[in-house]
Amino acid sequence: MTRLTPALRERAIGMIQAGMGMTAVSRAIGCKRLTLYRLQQRFQGTGSTADRPRSGRPRVTTIADDRFIRIRHLRDRFMPPRASTGVVQGRRISAQTVRRRLRSFNLRPRRAYRRPTLTQRHRHERLRWCHARLRWRLNNEWSNILFSDESRFTLQHSDGRARV
């Protein structure tokens, strides 16, 4: 269940002080009776409905910042986390914070796969190798060759297929 906003807390205390029952107030506010009971106890003890200080370091990013980070990385799945460190409401946040937020949304980093592109010299050497073996016969010469490297190469750029 979500936290009560300060306005709802004040409204609930007003309803309780006006004589409404806990069940009626909980239905009107939309929260559990135990929440209202604890709110009333805290109000009687401190005279305030504000949250008490909590231990631990406060979060650097707000819920809206987290949502912005999530949407930004969903739009560009290959963007590294450090690219989002300076765009959150003008504040600097660490790349580790961005990684934590992405992990909380079950987003894993993606890396664009880069295959080695063939240079002109590589192409020339391959073509020369093929021309030298153009007239080989299957039962004589090719039976003595063992192909152990089955790498795929693209000539200009990555074709986006996964390596097998």
Give the model's pLDDT for residue 1: 47
pTM of the model: 0.42
Give the model's pLDDT for residue 2: 61
Residues in the chain predicted with pLDDT less than 70, given as ranges, are 1-2, 112-113, 146, 149-164
- Say if residue 107 is exposed, middle or buried (CB neighbours under 10 Å; 0-12, 13-18, 19+): middle
Give the model's pLDDT for residue 85: 81
Give the number of other Cβ atoms within 10 Å of residue 109's Cβ.
13
Give the model's pLDDT for residue 105: 92
- Say if residue 88 is exposed, middle or buried (CB neighbours under 10 Å; 0-12, 13-18, 19+): buried
Report the amino acid identity of residue 98. V
Is the Cα torsion angle 47, 51, 57, 59 positive or negative in sign? negative
Tens of pLDDT along 95-122? Answer: 899 999 999 999 887 776 677 777 889 8
What is the token pair recorded at 157? 């750029």
Question: What distance in Å separates the CA atoms of residue 30 and residue 48, rounded to the nearest whole number?
Answer: 21
Give the model's pLDDT for residue 156: 63
What is the token pair recorded at 30? 């939309």
